[in-house]
Amino acid sequence: MKLINLNNSPYASRVRIQIRQKKLPVELVSSTIPLRTAEFAAAYPLAKLPVLELDTGETIGESTVIMDYLEAIYPEPALIPDTALARANNAMLARYADNHLAPALFPLFALLLGAGEEVEPHAQQGAVEAELAKLERLLAAQPDIADRSLQTGDICLATVMWYVIALLAEFGRDDILRDYPGAATWWQWVKDYAAVASTLHEMAAAHEAVMQQIRG
């Protein structure tokens, strides 16, 4: 199997974390087809990365779908808990990352890329902080991280959280988690996993390369 990957993508990065944490026999490759082209869309129906290419030539898109597939065929070591409530808590973290936190970041990212001129940075930072307040409540309502190990929901959240910290720092806020102790504790805990730390480092380097191109 091959993961068609993009190092600065938080969505591809979460799959790389899973692959490394579970030590899966999945090769990491870059797309040989230019992104955002008709040829790319013809090859990969959802027209975005990451894509998991099976040995049969079939492909699977969407990062969380890829992660579920890999968990299904390689159940050990498990990154999805085994009780219904624990599974629901795990899924809530992943949904929060994708449906709440990430959308609050998109306008700031567009601004950094030179688009989204209508975005008011301080107002959008407030939107991100409102989402972090949600996370604080969500983490408080779930079992303590000291009582469990790394799960797919943590992985999904970790790569988005890296962008929260990086993008807010670009706008002069380099202490964004200071007022969110639960999130700050979770962030330190999740980075203690080597697979997480190494992949976040890789994502940071790729992001910086993109930013250097933008800055000229």
Q: Is residue 209 part of a domain?
A: yes
The total number of residues shown for the chain amounts to 216
Same structural domain, 189 and 95: yes
pLDDT one-digit tens code per residue, 69-100: 999 999 999 999 999 999 999 999 999 999 99
- Tokens representing residue 42 in the block: 């013809």
pLDDT at 117: 65
E strands in the chain = 2-5, 27-30, 51-53, 59-61
Q: Which domain holds residue 162?
A: 84-215
Average pLDDT, integer, range 63-68? 98
Same structural domain, 50 and 93: no
Residue that finishes a domain, picked among 53, 73, 93: 73
Q: In the chain, how many domains are there? A: 2
Q: CB under 8 Å to 200, separation ≥6 — which residues?
A: 13, 158, 159, 162, 191
Q: Is residue 79 part of a domain?
A: no
Burial of 52 (0-12, 13-18, 19+ CB in 10 A): buried
pLDDT at 133: 98
- Cα 216 to Cα 159: distance, rounded to the nearest angstrom: 26
Same structural domain, 197 and 145: yes
pLDDT one-digit tens code per residue, 105-117: 999 888 877 766 6
CATH number at residue 98: 1.20.1050.10
Q: Are strands 51-53 and 59-61 parallel, antiparallel or unpaired?
A: antiparallel
- Cα 82 to Cα 55: distance, rounded to the nearest angstrom: 29
pLDDT one-digit tens code per residue, 156-198: 999 999 999 999 998 888 899 999 999 999 999 999 999 999 9
User: How does the average pLDDT of the chain come out, rounded?
Assistant: 94
Same structural domain, 168 and 208: yes
Same structural domain, 138 and 208: yes
CATH number at residue 59: 3.40.30.10
Q: CB under 8 Å to 134, separation ≥6 — which residues?
A: 96, 100
Q: Is residue 78 part of a domain?
A: no
pLDDT at 116: 61
pLDDT at 127: 94
pLDDT at 113: 75
Q: Does the bond joining 25 to the residue before it have cis omega, within 30 degrees of 0?
A: no
